[in-house]
Copies of this chain bind each other. A is one copy, B any other.
């Protein structure tokens, strides 16, 4: 298997993971088959479209490279017909979302850095690509996006993007960077959920001092 094929597979795997997470949310919300396909597909390719709009790639790759949309639609359809029962569906949403997050953040950062952007810009591009699909999914179904509420969500994305940039800076290929950075992000995200790691929350004074 050549590097190019492996690379394409990694990209499609990220799209598939996000599409599945989106379709699962659609199924849980009781959408019809096309609603499930729409939310699944937008979740799968939405982050990449946002990235292309930010970087000035017109039209976005997912509009012209048909496998991206095909994989997203196929994943959504599969979820419509085969999915876990209501009590388990949220768990699978989180797991597939974590895989999409990790693959997209590392891949986006590696591409951007390899194409000559600074490390800061590359990490931002990767993080926004990864978070974008999930935000589109959550805004569509009218929920507060997971990036604001899930354990170590943005931290995992930033970490994965940073590691991917580091791998490319040390001479690794974009494929290697995607694998290593993605794996770190996925592990951190799922471990933080499993172990209930939280970042500190603000201390709210319910009875503020006079005139505060």
Say how many copies of this protein the assembly contains. Answer: 3
A171 within 8 A of B: no
A63 near B201 (CB under 8 angstroms)?
A: no
Distance in angstroms between the alpha carbons of A195 and B134 in the assembled complex: 34
B59 near A56 (CB under 8 angstroms)?
A: yes
Give the total of A residues in contact with B, Cβ under 8 Å.
66
A8 within 8 A of B: no
Known contacts A84-B208, A86-B206, A204-B85; is-contact A59 B63 (Cβ 8 Å): no
Within 8 A of B (CB), among A128-162: 135, 139-145, 147-149, 152-155
A212 within 8 A of B: yes
Distance in angstroms between the alpha carbons of A171 and B13 in the assembled complex: 40
Known contacts A64-B121, A142-B144; is-contact A154 B38 (Cβ 8 Å): yes
* Minimum distance in angstroms from A19 CB to a CB of chain B: 15
A16 within 8 A of B: no
Within 8 A of B (CB), among A43-62: 49, 53-56, 58-60
Distance in angstroms between the alpha carbons of A49 and B69 in the assembled complex: 22
* Minimum distance in angstroms from A46 CB to a CB of chain B: 11
